[in-house]
Structure 1
Amino acid sequence: MLLTDIAVEHTLVSKKNGVRQTFLLHPFTNTQRDTLGKFEIVRDIREPGFKGVKRSAFVTFQQLAELYAKGVLEEFGFSVRMCPGQGTYPTVNPVKKILPTNISPSSPFDLAVQKVDVSKPANRELRTALLRTNVKI
Structure 2
Amino acid sequence: MLLTDIAVEHTLTPVKGGPRVTLVLHPFTNTQRDSLGKFEIVRGISEPGGKEVRRSTFVSFQQLAELYAKGVLDEFGFSVRMCPADGKYPTTNPVKKILPTSFKPGSQFDLAVQGVDVSKPASRELRTALLRTNVKL
After TM superposition, the score normalised by the length of structure 1 is 0.97
SS at match of 1:23: strand
Write the mapping of 1:1-137 to structure 2, written as runs, cut at 5 A: 1-47=1-47, 49-86=49-86, 88-137=88-137
C-alpha deviation, 1:3, in angstroms: 0.2
Moved over 6 A (4+): none
Provide the C-alpha distance between the structure 2 equivalents of 1:18 and 1:124, rounded to a whole number of angstroms. 49
C-alpha deviation, 1:87, in angstroms: 5.0
Partner deviation per Cα, 1:49-108 (whole Å, 9 max, x = no partner): 231000000000000000000000000000000000125111110000000000111000
Query: RMSD value over aligned CA atoms?
Result: 1.0
Q: Are the equivalent residues in 1 in contact too, given 2:47–2:53 (CA < 8 A)?
A: no
Provide the C-alpha distance between the structure 2 equivalents of 1:133 and 1:24, rounded to a whole number of angstroms. 27
SS at match of 1:11: strand
Unpaired runs of 5+ in structure 1? Answer: none
Provide the C-alpha distance between the structure 1 equivalents of 2:6 and 2:118, rounded to a whole number of angstroms. 21
SS at match of 1:58: strand
After TM superposition, the score normalised by the length of structure 2 is 0.97
